[in-house]
Structure 1
Amino acid sequence: MKYLLAIFAFALISGCGFRPVYSTGANANYAGGAITVPPIAGRSGYMLRRALQEELAIGLPNVTEPSTLRVELSESLTRLTFKPDGQASRSSVVASARYTLSRESDTVSGSATSEATFAVPDSPYGDISAQKGASDRAMRLLAKRLVDDLRLQLVED
């Protein structure tokens, strides 16, 4: 009976258009139809790629042919202020990206930078969580700035 129920559940899931989050199929690089964003290394790269796919879902001006957006990401953590005992109290995550949009007709390249600051909690595990949260915010902001820069460059063409 359990097996019959499992088969029925899988049939329902496949019928509704469900696709796994980490799909490696044909739609794995989907971003706005014509724009492919290859994987970017690391956790922050994954977050940046997802944010870029969301930003590019509506497309870019003057981009109708299949294109590839390649991104080189660098990220750094800086301790900004310290308590009297030497422990950090405020930190900053700075993310920068160099990108190249390759199309059949031409190539557009540039760079973008973002920064997210956070208060350092007293707990070491809290610090790790705060760093991840700041990194995620920095990646979303970086994706917005990168796509805005691309839109400005492509409108001028």
Structure 2
Amino acid sequence: MKYLLAILAFALISGCGFRPVYATGSNANYASGMITVPPIAGRSGYMLRRALQEELAIGLPNVTEPATLRVEVDENLTRLTFKPDGAASRSSVVANARYTLSRESGSLSGRSSSEVNFAVPDSPYGDISAQKGASDRAMRLLAKRIVDDLRLELVED
């Protein structure tokens, strides 16, 4: 009886046009509403694109037509402090981005940056992991700053 009810429930859900929010494959919508973010080169670019899609999921004010947000990102790792033996103890990931939101009614361009500092672990593999974690945090922060800048600019229009 339970199986019959489960099958009936799934049949009703699929009949109403239900689609999972986190769908994968051909049903996945990679455009954030009406704003498309083309692929950005590199691992950091991939993380930035994903963060931008999350930030843009609710859209932007006064954007009612399809738009494209193109972003170029540059990321640098800097060693800030060193131990007496010459090994780094603190590092910084700095990400700079140039972005352009293109739509039929015009385009907006700007620049944004983010910086994330982190302690360097003693193990080499720990350092690689810390760098990736800091890079990911820098990309999420950069995406938030880009979308916040766009929201401020678009509210004034």
Considering the TM-score relative to the shorter chain, is it more than 0.5?
yes
Do structure 1's residue 147 and structure 2's residue 147 form an aligned pair?
yes
Deviation readout 1:27-47 (Å, 9 max, x if unpaired): 45321x110000111111111
Matched, 1:85 2:88: no
User: Structure 1 residues 41, 28: closer, same or farther in 2, change over 3 A?
Assistant: farther
2:85 is paired with a residue whose SS is coil
In 2, Cα distance between the equivalents of 1:136 and 1:58?
22
For the residue of structure 2 that corresponds to 1:63, the secondary structure is: coil
One-letter identity of the residue aligned with 1:46: Y
Q: Which secondary structure state, in structure 1, belongs to the residue aligned with residue 89 of structure 2? A: strand
Q: TM-score, normalised by structure 1?
A: 0.84
RMSD of aligned residue pairs (Cα, Å): 1.7
Task: For structure 1, list consecutive stretches of 5 or more residues without a partner in the other structure.
Answer: 1-11
Judge conservation of contact 1:47–1:136 (CA < 8 Å) in 2. Answer: yes
Matches within 5 A, 1:17-28: 17=19, 19-20=23-24, 23=25, 25=26, 27-28=28-29
1:30 is matched with 31
Amino acid aligned to 2:137: R
Give TM-score scaled by structure 2 length: 0.84
Letter in 2 for 1:69: L
Is the counterpart of residue 120 in structure 1 residue 120 in structure 2? Answer: yes
Aligned residues: 141
Q: 1:156 deviation in Å?
A: 1.3
Classify 1:142/1:46 alpha carbon distance in 2 versus 1 (closer, same or farther; 3 Å).
same
What CA deviation, in whole Å up to 9, does each residue of 1:13-63 have, x standing for no partner? xx674632xx4x4745321x1100001111111110011011101111110
CA distance in 2, matches of 1:27, 1:97: 26
Q: Is the 8 A contact 1:29 1:38 kept in 2?
A: no
Cα offset, 1:73, TM superposition: 0.5
